[in-house]
Amino acid sequence: MAELCKLPGIGRRSAERLIFHVLKAPADEVDRLARSLDDTKSGVRHCDVCYNLSERSRCRICEDPERDRSRVLVVEQPRDLIAIEQTGQYRGLYHVLMGRLSPLDGIGPDELTVDALLDRVRDPSKQPGGVGVEEIVLGLNPTLEGDGTALYVKERLDELGSGVTVTRLARGLPSGGSLEMMNKAVLADALAGRRTL
Amino acid sequence: MAELCKLPGIGRRSAERLIFHVLKAPADEVDRLARSLDDTKSGVRHCDVCYNLSERSRCRICEDPERDRSRVLVVEQPRDLIAIEQTGQYRGLYHVLMGRLSPLDGIGPDELTVDALLDRVRDPSKQPGGVGVEEIVLGLNPTLEGDGTALYVKERLDELGSGVTVTRLARGLPSGGSLEMMNKAVLADALAGRRTL
């Protein structure tokens, strides 16, 4: 039960319920569950290029010749990538940093995949199809740590002197929200980033 | 009790509690409450220029010579104005539309204060200090109805041919949020509105 409690969202009560289910279930069903967990762990790896989750050495996005390979969107985690893919509005490639700079948690630049990103920009042969990177879109979380990480990545890219365009996702009012419910930081961003119609 | 139940956020239970409080309270306290409600209703009006809530014919923002009178931020309701004032980041004037276009609720252009806004743009003598309007910032809610209203106001301003700059508040990721929790519309806005760093 201690093992189950380590899972996210599973407390003592849920763990008990799961155990009683396992005890009542037929042995072969339990076996299949255990095997599928093992397979997931051993079968899923990170893409050699972008660090997305993948079952092969390159993920299906890096392998897709229809994607715009001159554009790379940088995210913190594979689940951010999934959220952006679900919009259907982005046709470029990705780069997963595998976290964000967080000095308090002891996460520095060496824990992230920034060097691999710089390699992709510096050397087109590291890119799918050998296509040179023209735009890096920073898609980190709109938080203090995300902003700090974006700044760090931007600085490293500038040092490279590659002339790649660095953009970041727009900050402002979230579509569907209501002005009076927004906090000051959101409204200040919305004011500062206002655009001519 | 029926009267109390009409107030926002007051259901049967709360109304009962309020009534028991009133019954127990000293008569002069109840009198003061009733009087202050009356005073609020009769003492508060809309600013002649911007329709903000005010105790005089012009609100304190329109009266303030320190504000940038060449900029007018258009909001739906006085409470949106309060939210933006609390950021301390905006130093211009406002214009409260007193609602948004909502055909289903029977709210058309005539129910809003668009004509008064156009007058301010057309004729500087309608503006505090006689200062001509140079920028209109559309600060409507990031909803379907808010967007529709913004489009309508923008068209009316274009018809005027006044050359005033029309901007709108930035749309995108809300500061402090997390990418994976955003809905598709927010992420699509953030992608479409991305900016060069």
Residue B80 corresponds to which tokens in the numbers above?
Answer: 């949106």
Give A-chain residues touching B77 at CB under 8 angstroms. 180
Average pLDDT over residues A72-87: 96
Mean pLDDT of chain A: 94
Closest-CA residue of B relative to A89 is B188
The per-residue pLDDT string of chain B (197 residues; one tens digit each, 9 = 90 and over) reads 788 888 888 888 899 999 999 899 999 999 999 998 888 888 899 999 999 999 999 999 999 999 999 999 999 999 999 999 999 999 999 999 999 999 899 999 999 999 999 999 999 999 999 999 999 999 999 999 999 999 999 999 999 988 899 999 999 999 999 999 999 999 999 999 999 98
**A51-65 pLDDT, tens digit each:** 999 999 999 999 999
Buried b (16+ CB within 10 A) or exposed e, B40-77: eeeeeebbebbbbebeeeebebbeeeebebbbbbbbbb
Contact B167 A142 (CB under 8 A): no
Contact indicator for B170, A197 with CB cutoff of 8 Å: no
Closest-CA residue of B relative to A84 is B187
pTM of the full structure: 0.83
Closest-CA residue of A relative to B154 is A197
Give B-chain residues touching A172 at CB under 8 angstroms. 169-174, 189, 193
Give A-chain residues touching B135 at CB under 8 angstroms. none
Nearest by CB to B86, from A150, A173, A184: name it. Answer: A184
* ipTM over 0.90 threshold: no
Give the count of beta carbons closer than 10 Å to the beta carbon of residue A42.
8
Contact indicator for B97, B161 with CB cutoff of 8 Å: no
Contact A142 B176 (CB under 8 A): yes
What is the distance in angstroms between the Cα of B112 and the nearest Cα belonging to chain A?
A: 18
Beta strands in A27-186 (DSSP E): 45-46, 53-54, 68-75, 92-96, 135-138, 165-168
Res A162: pLDDT = 83
